[in-house]
Amino acid sequence: MAAKTRQKSDAPDASDRVSRIREGVTAAILEHRLLPGTKLGEDEIGEIYGASRTLVRTALQQLAHEGIVNIEKNRGAFVAHPTPGDAREVFEARRLIEPTIVDHAIDAVSPAWLDRLGQHLAEEREAELRGDARASVRLSGEFHKLVAEMSGHSIYLGFLKELIARSSLIILLYRRHDTPACGTDHHAGIVAAIRKRDKQAARAQMLSHLREIEAELFLKDTAADELRLADVLGA
């Protein structure tokens, strides 16, 4: 019933125009087509989607609340540029919340859900196979959202959506170049644990999965000189 409460505000299939804009921009950011710091002009976006600035504005405000867009007064909206500190916070929150989410997901497991999970894994593998990095990164995030939906816990789902979106930016900014293949498919392991209804294993695998992602990041306290300047003077 809780999920219904939100049906009009952020339903995934909402056909109203502001949702289309929001989802279009979100997808572009999550697929790393829009880089952090990019200016998101209202006219520009409005023309693309054939909408007036009023609608673009509300969409951007929603994205700002989700943390993937920064709105600077009288200057406009920009794709967010999370700091290493933000990154640590995001992953700590994920390590706290996601093990609990898989727990709930196992409570709510059903053949239909297992089907969806399996189908998703197939999509992920396929994207990986054909080297489609953009689809890969998007699907990877959607896997976690799928588990959260499965848990039926609408608050955790909302929180996780924010965390996932930010994670995508963080990975783009701070992933090490020398990351070794990264092919090890943790998601499949998690699904296997869910299928066996083994909460202990599912929690553990989710946790190590998140740790591994974070371990692949390079989160120096002071990243680049320009970044350092921005942080120091931004205060």
Partner DNA sequence: TGTGCTCGGATTGTATAAAGTTTCGCCTGT
Partner DNA sequence: ACAGGCGAAACTTTATACAATCCGAGCACA
Q: Position of tokens 């500190």?
A: 85
Residue 198 has what DSSP assignment? -
CB atoms within 10 A of CB 17: 16
Is 207 one of the binding residues for a second copy (CB under 8 A)?
A: no
Only segment of 91-99, 131-139, 141-149, 202-210 that touches a second copy (CB under 8 A): 91-99
Select 61 or 154, whichever has its Cβ closest to DNA: 61
Site for a second copy in 140-179 (CB under 8 A): 153-156, 159, 163
**Nearest partner of 60 among 43, 77, 72, 47, judged by Cα:** 77
Residue 183 backbone dihedrals phi, psi, to 5 degrees: -70, -25
106 interface partner picked from DNA, a second copy, none, CB below 5 to 8 A per type = none
Residue 159 touches which of a second copy, DNA, none (CB < 5 to 8 A by kind)?
a second copy
55 binds, among a second copy, DNA, none (CB under 5 to 8 A by kind): DNA
Quote the distance between the C-alpha of residue 50 and its chain's center: 26
Nearer to a second copy, 82 or 141 (CB): 82
8 binds a second copy (CB under 8 A): yes
Q: Which of 96, 133, 182, 215 binds a second copy (CB under 8 A)?
A: 96
Helix (H, G, I), strand (E, B) or coil at 7: helix
231 forms part of the interface with a second copy (CB under 8 A) = yes
Q: Does 220 bind a second copy (CB under 8 A)?
A: no
Restricted to residues 68-127, the positions that interact with DNA (CB under 7 A) are 71, 73-77
Buried b (16+ CB within 10 A) or exposed e, 114-140: eeebeebbeebeebbeeeeeebbbbbb
> Which CB sits closer to a second copy, 60 or 121?
60
Q: What are phi and psi of 86, to 5 degrees?
A: -55, -45
Alpha helices in 41-185 (DSSP H): 42-49, 53-66, 84-107, 111-129, 133-151, 154-174
Asked if 41 is part of the footprint of DNA (rule: CB under 7 A), the reply reads yes
Phi, psi of 217 (to 5 degrees): -95, 155
Q: Which residues contact 111 (CB under 8 A, 6 or more apart)?
A: none
Which residues here bind a second copy, judged by CB under 8 A? 1-2, 4-5, 8-9, 16, 58, 61-62, 64-65, 70-73, 80, 82-83, 85-86, 89-90, 92-93, 96-97, 100, 153-156, 159, 163, 231, 234-235
Catalog residues that contact DNA under the rule CB under 7 A. Answer: 16-18, 39-43, 51-55, 57, 71, 73-77
